[in-house]
Amino acid sequence: MTKNTFDLEQQLLSDYDSKLTAEGVSGERLAHRLGILSKIGLTEDQGSRRSGFSQEEREAKNWIVKWMEEAGMQVREDGAGNIIGRLDGKHPDKPVIMSGSHVDTVPNGGHFDGTIGVLSALEVAQSWKETGYAPEKPLEIVAFTDEEGSRFNGGLTGSEAMMGDTDIEAMQTKKDFDGRTFEEVINDVGLSVEGFKSAGRPHSDIESYVEVHIEQGKRLEKEQLPCGIVTGIAGPYWLRLTFKGQAGHAGNTPMTDRQDALVAAGHFIHNISHLPQKINDSAVATVGNIEVKPNGTNVIPGEVIVYVDIRDIYEDTRQQLIDAIIQTAEDISKSWAITLTCETVHNVPPVPIKKKLQDKLEKAMQGKGIRPYYLPSGAGHDAMIVGQHVPSAMIFVRSKDGISHNPAEWSDLSDCVQAVHILKDYIESCQSHQITYQN
Ligand SMILES: [Zn+2]
């Protein structure tokens, strides 16, 4: 199929179980909307390219505004370009239930990552309009700006701005893939540095946040389930370890008289691959970046820098893993007569999801005859940022072959619509009493 004949809507509808169109929720409308968004930034490989702060992201947001208005929402845009649709409910003075995600994509990404979260929430608002349901509490739907961060090698920009977490000075030092500054880029889409500073809002405005997202893994596929309940979002912790030995001639230095930093680093990388599973099921550690100095074929490596990405959904088990990794590096360095230095270069705390919110999702799943299944989120999402300040929950939708950030990214429409029904029942179950961090 060429780019011109690409028709996501038709593909989605081809095996859709139309009985799922019910209670004001429409799979046909969801497919139509996914189809419209898929054409914005469509690549040669039928993937999506809608970088943060691009005209394509702006165009996708314009559609979201239109659909929010169709659902009877009041729409505004904050200083960071986050699009916010609001339904007042019976008690407009109460803190809001918020739901959403993002509409930007990685270069040559897929058509479900992010969009499905925004469109699912819109489907809930639209269903309420059609069935005449009036919520007790205000509902706000958000399309967050620049979640993927492909332009400035960062991400989560819009959710950070709304939570008041933006380090604006650091942002202003960044250059994008075309060498342009943050300020130049955001000016192009009608945003300003001053606006970014003003985007922060009191956390007490928001009672709780919920996000539907594709799983980007294979657990739900293995379990043959359309969707699942996220138990927590693993925060990334990056360690930079420098193994310092002695560079020397590869020919003239006997094997018994070497301080080879790469041999030590190699042992380290191998040994830590066994540690996470001893500590926790959801813990992971990855070495994906090393620097070897001087990096010559005939030179014994004198210095090796190893970056370790460490994640878990619980702070205490993640800390146990960090400690065990550092201990391993120290032990190995000692036995190879290598000097070790160790620095933390990035640290986002994990976001555990409150049991009470998971229970509500479990009830919603049981109500729809779906076996409740729990799984962690290894990747970061807007919920990871909002969840630092506001009780947050996530629903994952099955991803075909676990593929994401790729044109082949796929979730069946029936799975997406089942997630919408869970989201709807969940948000309705949040109307009767207040969720706080304490309860
Ligand atoms: Zn995403």
pLDDT digits (tens, 9 = 90+) for 47-95: 999 999 999 999 999 999 999 999 999 999 999 999 999 999 999 999 9
Report whether the peptide linkage leading into residue 294 is cis, meaning its omega lies within 30 degrees of zero.
Answer: yes
Q: Ligand 1 centroid vs 147 CA: distance in angstroms?
A: 7
Ligand 1 mean position, distance from CA 372 (Å): 22
Ligand 1 center to 328 CA (angstroms): 34
Question: DSSP characters for 69-107?
Answer: HHTT-EEEE-TT--EEEEE--S-TTSPEEEEEEE----T
Asked whether the predicted pLDDT for residue 2 surpasses 70, the reply is: no
How far is CA 292 from each of CA 84, 89, 282, rounded to the nearest angstrom? 47, 59, 30
State the distance from the centre of ligand 1 to the C-alpha of 313, rounded, in angstroms. Answer: 18
pLDDT at 177: 82
pLDDT tens by residue, 136-153: 999 999 999 999 988 887
pLDDT digits 0-9 by tens, 324-374: 999 999 999 999 999 999 999 989 899 989 999 999 999 999 999 999 999
Write out pLDDT tens, residues 377-436.
998 899 999 999 999 999 999 999 999 999 999 999 999 999 999 999 999 999 988 888
Query: How far, in Å, is the centroid of ligand 1 from the Cα of 107?
Result: 13
Mean pLDDT of the chain: 95
Cα–ligand 1 centroid distance for 102 (angstroms): 7
For ligand 1, the distance from its centroid to the CA atom of residue 385, given in whole angstroms, is 13
Residues near ion ligand 1 (CB < 5 Å) are 113-114
Ligand 1 centroid – CA 322 distance (Å): 26
Q: How far is the CA of 215 from the centre of ligand 1 (A)?
A: 9
CA dist 347 to 148, 158, 235, 358, Å? Answer: 18, 19, 7, 25
Position 435 scores a pLDDT of: 82
**pTM for the structure as a whole:** 0.89
pLDDT (0 to 100) of residue 153: 76
CB atoms within 10 A of CB 357: 22
User: pLDDT tens for residues 282-297?
Assistant: 999 999 999 999 999 9
Chain centroid to CA 232: how far? Answer: 12
Q: What is the pLDDT of residue 154?
A: 80
Q: What is the pLDDT of residue 151?
A: 84
Query: Looking at residue 433, what is its pLDDT?
Result: 81
Measuring CA to CA, how many Å separate 418 from each of 25, 201, 413, 421, 422? 10, 32, 9, 5, 6
Quote the ligand 1 centre to 289 CA distance (angstroms): 23
Tell me how far the alpha carbon of residue 405 lies from the centroid of ligand 1, in angstroms. 9
**Measured in angstroms, how far is the CA atom of residue 386 from the centroid of ligand 1?**
14
pLDDT above 90 coverage of the chain, percent: 91
Q: What is the pLDDT of residues 228-246, one digit of tens each?
A: 999 999 989 999 999 999 9
Has residue 316 got a pLDDT over 80? yes
pLDDT score for 64:
98
Average pLDDT over residues 159-186: 92
pLDDT of residue 4: 67
Task: Tell me, in angstroms, the distance from the centre of ligand 1 to residue 38's CA.
Answer: 15
- Cβ neighbors of 254 (< 8 A, separation 6 or more) are none
pLDDT at residue 212 in the model: 98
Q: How far away, in angstroms, is 342 Cα from ligand 1 center?
A: 31
Computed from CA positions of residues 268, 270, 271, 275, in that sequence, does the dihedral angle turn out positive or negative?
A: positive
Residues 6+ apart with CB under 8 A from 166: 80, 157, 160, 196, 197, 199, 200
- pLDDT at position 437: 76
Confidence category of residue 112, pLDDT binned at 50, 70, 90: very high
CA of 40 to the centre of ligand 1 (A): 17
**For residue 259, how many other CB atoms are within 10 A of its CB?**
20
Whole-number Å distance, alpha carbon 417 to ligand 1 midpoint, is 18
Ligand 1 centroid–CA 327 distance in Å is 34
In this prediction, residue 3 carries a pLDDT of 59
114 C-alpha to ligand 1 centroid (Å): 4
First to last CA, the chain: 53
